[in-house]
Amino acid sequence: MNSKKNSRLKPFLLTLGLTVSGLGTAEAADQSHLLATASTGGTYYPVGVAIATLSKVKLQPTHKVSLSAINSAGSGENIKLLRDNEVQFAILQGLYGSYANKGTGPLEKEGPQKNLRSITMLWQNVEQFVVKSEHVKTGTIEDMLALKGAGKLALGKKNSGTIGSNRKLLGNLGADIDNDFELVYGGYGPSAAALQNGQVDGISTPAGTPTGALTKLFASVGDDVTMLEYTDEQMLKADGDLNLWTRFVIPKGTYPGQSEDIKTIAQPNFLAVRDDVDEEFVYLLTKTLYENLPFLQAIHKATKAMSIDKALAGLPLPLHPGAVRYYKEVGLQIPDNLIAN
């Protein structure tokens, strides 16, 4: 790795770029790969840290391999980090996995990312659009669209998966976010703080629920802000023909002061890996994840959605051979489209 690499990766340089071999040998040096997540105020980061911690507890002592989680701008940046081998693993939105597989959307110039593979589905990325309550007329996403031409919105960091999915979702609903709104760029924590302080009119924080930044926001301002819902018609229009977004209900009591269910939508998140990562490492990691789900679920509620029968649901990229090996061991039928050519 040269000096141009991202400075936040420097603590991990000792273990980058090495081929994981001799995984079970006592004399093997400790090997660590990097797992890119997203901003610290969302769900990707704490879940990524949980996965990394699990690898250190279960794999490092006996197999001398592990993961280290880092924060990032999210799915958009994560694909670039994977492509440049600055990280070897990443959590990605289903939408960005589809872009990577087909070379479409923001990856049209780069083309299909043929070196990327799936390991497992993780949890659903719940769309959470929150606006000042003074702007609420219908209680649906239409209230955010009504801010076109005058609203100031925080829809994610530049080049993040969040702003990319918002560009697609709101675009399908008739809004050009880059021209119809004044955008403020930032992660979930800063975005929620900006809404609380009156610096923006609305925010988007797609993540697993509950999302830390929103828990803090609702605890602080209560009824001054409102999370918007999606009607069935709005859900279908927002999804277009991608077949990614489906109905998701946030149960009452998920957030402070939330007295009723919130009907929104969600897309899947999944764990991705470079195709040149050692098969044995990926096999051990996949096996360890599914044999220790209670550990992950104790760290973040979003992972309660994980189960072996949902591991392959909606994966947008072919599986890594290490993951294939584990799934065959436990008797899963693997669709042809998930077998790498």
Q: Would 19 be classed as within a structural domain?
A: no
Q: Residues 146, 212: one domain?
A: yes
Alpha helices by DSSP H, 136-252 = 142-145, 161-172, 177-180, 188-196, 212-221, 232-239
- Counting the structural domains of the chain, the total is 2
Phi then psi for 263, rounded to 5 degrees? -95, 100
Q: What is the CATH number of the domain that holds 247?
A: 3.40.190.10
User: Mean pLDDT in runs of 10 for the chain (341 residues)?
Assistant: 43 35 46 92 90 96 96 93 98 94 94 97 93 98 97 92 92 97 95 97 94 96 97 96 87 97 94 97 98 90 86 92 98 94 81
Q: What pairs with residue 204 in β-bridges?
A: 129
Measured between alpha carbons, how far is residue 339 from residues 53, 96, 99, 289, 316 in Å?
29, 19, 18, 21, 11
Find out whether 218 and 240 touch, Cβ atoms under 8 Å.
Answer: no
pLDDT for position 18: 34
Kindly report the backbone phi and psi dihedral angles of residue 151, in degrees, each rounded to the nearest multiple of 5, phi listed first.
Answer: -85, 150
Q: Tally Cβ neighbours within 10 Å of residue 325.
A: 16
Number of neighbours of residue 182 by Cβ within 10 angstroms: 12
Position 49 in a domain: yes
**225, 245, 267 - which closes a domain:** 267
Both 212 and 233 in one domain: the answer is: yes
Name every residue whose Cβ is closer than 8 Å to that of residue 276 and which is 6 or more positions away in sequence. Answer: 115
Is 284 within 8 Å of 59 (Cβ atoms)? yes
Q: Tell whether 311 and 227 lie within a shared domain.
A: no
Structural domain contains residue 2:
no
Whether residues 90 and 167 share a domain: the answer is no
Q: Is 99 contained in some domain? A: yes
| 256 and 290, same domain (yes or no) | no
Both 231 and 139 in one domain: the answer is: yes
- Say whether both 288 and 235 belong to one domain: no
Determine the structural domain holding residue 146 and report its residue range.
126-267
Residue 339 DSSP symbol = B
Q: Which residues pair with 248 in a beta bridge?
A: 264
The answer to whether position 258 is within a domain reads yes
User: Among residues 267, 296, 311, which one ends one of the domains?
Assistant: 267
Q: What is the pLDDT of residue 116?
A: 98
Residues 153 and 210 in one domain: yes
Predicted local distance difference test score (pLDDT) of residue 20? 37
- Do 209 and 199 lie in a common domain? yes
- Could you tell me if residue 20 is inside a domain? no
Please name the amino acid found at residue 116.
L
Q: Does a structural domain hold residue 290?
A: yes
- In the sheet with 152-154, reading across from the earlier edge strand, the strands are 182-183, 152-154, 202-204, 129-132, 225-227
Q: What is the C-alpha R_g of the chain?
A: 20
Q: What is the pLDDT of residue 214?
A: 97
pLDDT at site 323: 98
305 and 213 inside one domain: no
Q: Last residue of a domain, which of 267, 294, 319?
A: 267
What DSSP letter does each residue of 283-331 carry, written as one string? HHHHHHHHH-HHHHHHH-GGGGG--GGGTTTT--SPBPHHHHHHHHHTT
101 and 212 assigned to the same domain: no
Q: Is 23 part of a structural domain of the chain?
A: no
Q: Are residues 176 and 239 in the same domain?
A: yes
Question: What pLDDT, on the 0 to 100 scale, is given for residue 29?
Answer: 57
Cα gap 224→302, rounded to integer Å: 26
